[in-house]
Amino acid sequence: MEKMDHIENISDELFAAFLEGNVDLTEMQSVLNALRESKELKECMNISERVDDVLDMETEHDILPMMALAADNGRDCLCDIQCEEYILKKRGLSCNLGILADEARKNKWLKDKGMPLFHIGRLLSRVSLSVSRRYHCSLEDLQEALAEGKDVIVVVDGGELAGDMMQEKLEDLLVGENPDHAVVVKEYDSQKKLISLYDPQAEQNDGWLPVERFMDAWADSDYYMVLVNEREKTPYIPHPIDLSDVELSEELNELKEAIAENAHEVWAENRMREGWTYGPVRDDEKKQTPDMVAYSDLPESEKLYDREMAIKTIKLVKKLGYDLIKKDESELYCALLRRIRNMGHLYHCGNCGGVIFKHQVFCEHCGKKLDYMDYQE
């Protein structure tokens, strides 16, 4: 990767990862050292913050950390694999850590820097165990799961769980909440307010912690837990992600009809491949269904189902921290495009020295009207 001009050892890729909070402590320190010495890098940071402000104005809901990496604080990236190995051995199932890790990498569940939260438990589901994932859980939910004989993996802030407050303050300053470590919850003592964990990171894997410290560390993952049990012992109770705090613009709301109609087309195409045809009533033996018609001909009840799926899909995308941006029209898209185009061509106001762009008419720092003389690199 080509290095940024005049910034030794800091690549565009590393700086972008730093802005996203996807670096380890060593990489953080490298970028921090460069920021102290490089005016150019500081200006890039300022540009990023200004665009992030635009993004923040678009987001008024909590973002689920589904893409956060359980990575043992960046050391060996195997904390989740070790937790799954622990559960397999506890249930008397043969396993090998190296083989599990190889399978996780082969299936692209395990990334270079850790396991994304939504992939935790994939290995367990491959050996006939039932696995479900839930956010916004409570201590009571955890206690109930343990009482039902389920194994529970939770994701926490590893530094906070270990009581390493210096590391925690540094991470909070640079990347905010940092759910980066998987542990297995073994037992909760409600009388003593203690919780017992299998912690792959700890020198002694098994131990008791004050429940208050555990809850603080667990909060960083939005109280995410993965529940594991034998399939025949697990009645299915759905727990969809709560999307009630996600508001959609009128433009995004209008997308639901197009998505709903296309979803019906995809469903119908797949059914036809399986040999299904139209019939006035559903008949599984004849493979006939009354829904094998154009979307416009569906009863309103079926359309409502498709619309609900469409709108909740859009809301889920936003809940996971993504933005749907319509090209060439939205101010957000234009701001992002200007950022990309101008990253390598920074200019300074001749009056105050503030960072400016070629598209600006007035300096946003001092208000001076700009002319070509002001665009000094």
Which band of pLDDT confidence, cut at 50, 70 and 90, is reported for residue 122? very high
Asked whether the predicted pLDDT for residue 131 surpasses 50, the reply is yes
Asked whether the predicted pLDDT for residue 167 surpasses 70, the reply is no
Which band of pLDDT confidence, cut at 50, 70 and 90, is reported for residue 156? very high
Among 215-224, 225-234, 358-367, name the most confident range: 215-224
Give the C-alpha distances (Å, rounded to integers) separating 26 from 8, 33, 95. Answer: 15, 11, 33
Mean residue pLDDT across the chain:
80
Read off the tokens for 235. 């009645």
35 CB neighbour count, 10 Å cutoff: 17
Asked whether the predicted pLDDT for residue 155 surpasses 70, the reply is yes
Which band of pLDDT confidence, cut at 50, 70 and 90, is reported for residue 330? low
Whether 161 and 181 have beta carbons less than 8 Å apart is answered as: yes
Asked whether the predicted pLDDT for residue 173 surpasses 80, the reply is no
Rounded distance between C-alpha atoms, residue 98 and residue 267, angstroms: 40
Q: Mind giving me the DSSP string for 172-233? A: HHHHSS---EEEEEEEEETTTTEEEEE-TTSSSSEEEEEHHHHHHHHHTTTS-EEEEEEGGG
The pTM (predicted TM-score) of the whole model is 0.67
Q: What is the pLDDT of residue 47?
A: 64
Asked whether the predicted pLDDT for residue 239 surpasses 70, the reply is yes
Residue 115: enclosing H or E segment and its boundaries?
strand 115-116
Which band of pLDDT confidence, cut at 50, 70 and 90, is reported for residue 324? confident
At residue 170, what are phi and psi to the nearest 5 degrees? -65, -45
